[in-house]
Structure 1
Amino acid sequence: IPEHKKRAFEYLGLKEEKTTTGRNVNVVEIPPQIIVNLETPQIVEDLGETPE
């Protein structure tokens, strides 16, 4: 997985578990809006921030 996604997983407190195919099984546990936001590295900084 891309480094910024890996950091986001760690930020969210999710254990990184790989299936035999190498896919991260925790992806399904993340809310859809966070999945979308993971496309940009700044999500890690944005998490927990209140939008202006």
Structure 2
Amino acid sequence: MTVIEMREYMRASRNKAYGLIWSGGVASYRLGRKFLVSRASVDAYIESRSRRR
């Protein structure tokens, strides 16, 4: 999914989405100028955050 799709899926801000990508919190890769993220990676991040609480 693209960063825009990730933001909608997570209901996160633009800064939060890119921050997760740049910090390595969510695995991503670049295809040209776009960052692409797997849904499984986003789900794993969400799951890890929900276990901490």
Q: TM-score, normalised by structure 2?
A: 0.35
TM-score w.r.t. structure 1 length? 0.36
Report the structure, 1 or 2, having the larger strand content. 2
Which protein is richer in helix relative to its size?
2
When Rg is computed on C-alpha atoms for both structures, the one with the higher figure is: 1
